[in-house]
Amino acid sequence: MRRCVCAPSALERYKRKISGPIIDRIDMWIEVSNIPHDKLLENDSKDKENKKNKESEKMKKNILRARAIQKQRFKNTKRKIKTNSEMNGKDINHFINLPDNAQKILNNAARSMDLSPRAYHRVLKLSRTIADLSGSETVEENHILEALQYRPKQIQEL
């Protein structure tokens, strides 16, 4: 496969073909860098492999802890919610209480990034998950800022 050689304006036109409502339904936009093909088949050293396994185990424990927090949070909900991503607007208002500084940051970002109501709620739900992963009972401004980093960068105007 060859790298695209299109002009930046052609790339922007192509990106605009993705509709705003579809963009709003994607929680996290992450840029992945290209890995040279010869690196894909390299064998990792034992030390590197052990380090990766330890990091994976740590990540797994962290995720399981966050899922347990969410299970506890939603145990008495009528709709049988299991994860933050399943919250609707009422649930978000009930389960996510932002401190004033975090609310101000989110509102400023929503204006400057022109977030739709759906995207705004997605940022809140992702912020709640990031807070759970860090073991925080409240969604703080750093959780909001991290969640905002996962919004699409170059196609926000859609």
In tens, the pLDDT along 44-102 reads 777 778 888 899 999 999 999 999 999 999 999 999 999 999 999 999 999 999 999 99
Rg (CA), the chain: 19
Note the pLDDT tens digit of each residue in 93-149: 999 999 999 999 999 999 999 999 999 999 999 999 999 999 999 999 999 999 999
* 106-145 b/e (C-beta count within 10 Å ≥ 16 → b): beebbeebebeeebbbbbbbbbbbbbbbeeeeebbbebbe
d(CA 23, CA 17): 11
In contact, 158 and 20? CB cutoff 8 Å: yes
59 in any annotated domain: yes
What amino acid occupies position 89? G
Domain tally, the chain: 1
Domain annotation covers residue 3:
no
Q: Is residue 124 part of a domain?
A: yes
- CATH code: domain of residue 148: 1.10.8
Model confidence, pTM:
0.80
Range(s) of the domain holding residue 130:
54-158
The Cα 91–Cα 127 span in angstroms is: 14
Are 117 and 92 a contacting pair, CB within 8 Å?
no
Residue 63 in any domain: the answer is yes
